[in-house]
Amino acid sequence: MCGAWRIGRRRALELGLCFALLPRQALAQTEPARERPKEGDLLIAVGGASTPEPLKADDLPLDGKQTLAWPMEPETKVVRNGSRLNKVLLLRLDPEGFDPETKERAADGVVGYSAICPHTGCDVTNWHPDRQVLECPCHYSIYDPKEEAKVLSGPSPRRLPALPLKIVDGRLAVAKPFIGRPGFQQM
């Protein structure tokens, strides 16, 4: 019955029936994928293997370009990719250069931040290894990942929300929810 979406005449009726027939579990599973990262979530690379392996600190290049990742609930393996506001960027740097807050939130030199630029919501994908700063490719806001991703220049109204990390069984895991609200304000 639910495969009969293409039959136009009784579509509305069938849609209602299909939703009624959906297992409760299937409906519930759509929600965890949209929830913000929680303590204990593991992290998997965006666009990685179909059977994703949780990331370890060593998987990230020291001083190299950021890795974009999704949080994953460790028991159910639900990947929280139902909202792009859950996208995280990870960098592995020498913690000697971190300010105290950043040092406290880092795990084995890895820092985590929201990947969504607070200006108008682009993914922050550029990395300048010489200056060790992040750059949003849309309007060139520059963030310092060693100092809580504060804004160094550009139109962004605020820093990138930080995602405190820890190591669990050798793997990177979320230590606390985002500090700050991921996302942007519609202009």
Chain residues binding ligand FES by CB under 6 A are 117, 119-122, 136, 138-139, 141, 154-156
| Nearer of residues 72 and 117 to ligand FES, judged by Cβ | 117
- Please report how close the Cβ of residue 68 comes to ligand FES at its closest, in angstroms: 15
| Nearer of residues 29 and 185 to ligand FES, judged by Cβ | 185
- Please report how close the Cβ of residue 76 comes to ligand FES at its closest, in angstroms: 33
Cβ burial of 38 (10 Å; 0-12, 13-18, 19+) is: middle
CA atoms within 13 A on the CB side of 101: 11
| Nearer of residues 155 and 180 to ligand FES, judged by Cβ | 155
For residue 98, give every residue at least 6 positions away whose Cβ sits within 8 Å of its Cβ, in sequence order, or none: 106, 111, 146, 147
- Please report how close the Cβ of residue 94 comes to ligand FES at its closest, in angstroms: 26
Strand order in the sheet with 67-72: 110-114, 88-92, 67-72, 42-45, 171-174, 165-168
Spatial CA neighbour of 66 closest among 118, 130, 115: 115
Report how far residue 187's alpha carbon sits from residue 185's, in angstroms, rounded to the nearest whole number: 6
Report how far residue 97's alpha carbon sits from residue 103's, in angstroms, rounded to the nearest whole number: 9
| Nearer of residues 91 and 116 to ligand FES, judged by Cβ | 116
| Nearer of residues 122 and 167 to ligand FES, judged by Cβ | 122
- Please report how close the Cβ of residue 73 comes to ligand FES at its closest, in angstroms: 29
- Please report how close the Cβ of residue 65 comes to ligand FES at its closest, in angstroms: 17
- Please report how close the Cβ of residue 157 comes to ligand FES at its closest, in angstroms: 10
DSSP state of 46: T
| Nearer of residues 10 and 139 to ligand FES, judged by Cβ | 139
What backbone torsions phi and psi does residue 44 show, to the nearest 5 degrees?
Answer: -125, 150
